[in-house]
Structure 1
Amino acid sequence: MKWLSRLLVTLLLSTGVALALSLLPKMENGWNSPVFRSVKAQPVSENNIVDVMSKMPLHLRIRKVEVNHAIVSVDLLASPASEKDDIVQDMYEIPRTFFSRSTNINQVLIRVMDSPTAGNGATATLLLATDARREKWLPSETVFMPLSIEEMEQYLQSHFRMTYTTKWKNRFDIKS
């Protein structure tokens, strides 16, 4: 009989400790910890596009952003020192962010412009363009981060419409 009472006391103590540990985050942060808070998708509009874009970890400068109904158009400016890896990461991150964190964006158009050379008054020229559509985006495939640059580039080419200019091909020597 002694072993039964010891077993019951141990069981009650273990259950009490487990319950106390599960309530610890609530007492400490009031459920405000990022672990317990989910990011909810919200509509993107002209009013909050700056907030959405500023939260993206982009490498290139943003030249222009436009929201038109369910379409977002983004122009990025690549400097002569911009690396292919940085450009590919930005081209991957922008649609991923819009599709996962918004409820109303169904298409993201991205253009990467090469910055003009100083002094001759030339305008920026197109390097690369992407037409990303929500129906082609597979959220389950993009959960496993981080992806390598090659995997990101392959994902972009297989799921979205990518347009490479001659200037891009000459600069980064791709095989298409």
Structure 2
Amino acid sequence: MNWLSRILVLTTISIGVMAGLSYLSELDKSTSVFRTVSAQPVSEKNIVDVVSKMQLHLRIRRVEISHSIVSIDLLAVKSTESSDMLKDIYEIPRHLFGSSTNIHQVFIRVLDASADGNGSPQLLVASDARREKWLPGDLRFGHQSMEELAQYLDSHYRMTYTAKWHDRVKEKS
């Protein structure tokens, strides 16, 4: 009789623990497993907050959001290094895709603000980054060479370099 009561008590405790654990997982469903900050939808109301958290080298000229697409224009001056431009082109989609749930495409244009005084800045480089090409586990390119960063961007995003970009890169090297 002593063994039977022990088995009953142990079975009752096991069922209670199982029920408690299953309820605990229901409470925690909205919590992200691998992030401390959960991704939120980006809208016109919070795009300024999201973009202001990015650490960029270039000045932002324009930001536009339309459904699941974000377009950002950056301004480069004559002294801006090519590696700084590429780092910003890498950082913007990484940040937007990592901190949002509804952004699926990011257009980035880098414009030369040091134009000949003709008025509007000229395009240097453009990028079309899509969420399906983005790899969340990729390391940050803080210490990588410009060539490695350019190869990564060319292989994962749709990059367009203008003749002015190529002239600028030759001029700097």
Query: Which of structure 1's runs of 4+ aligned residues deviate more than 3 A?
Result: 143-147
Structure 2 partner of 1:108: 106
Query: Is residue 157 from structure 1 mapped to residue 154 from structure 2 by the alignment?
Result: yes
Question: Are the counterparts in 1 of residues 115 and 122 from structure 2 also a CA contact under 8 Å?
Answer: no
Unaligned runs of at least 5 residues, structure 1: 1-36
Q: CA deviation at 1:122?
A: 2.1
User: Which TM-score applies when normalising by structure 2?
Assistant: 0.74
Q: Deviations over 1:131-168 (max 9, x none)?
A: 0000111112x146645133322111001000000000
Give distance in 2, aligned partners of 1:155 and 1:114.
23
Query: Is residue 94 from structure 1 mapped to residue 85 from structure 2 by the alignment?
Result: no
The amino acid of 1:114's aligned partner reads D
In the TM superposition, 1:164-175 aligns within 5 A as 164-173=161-170
Give distance in 1, aligned partners of 2:161 and 2:118.
24
Give distance in 2, aligned partners of 1:87 and 1:47.
27
Q: Deviations over 1:41-96 (max 9, x none)?
A: 11111111111111100000000000000000000000111001110110000000
Unaligned runs of at least 5 residues, structure 2: 1-34
The amino acid of 1:44's aligned partner reads V
Task: State the SS of the aligned residue for 1:131.
Answer: strand
Structure 1 partner of 2:136: 139
Question: Are the counterparts in 2 of residues 116 and 122 from structure 1 also a CA contact under 8 Å?
Answer: no
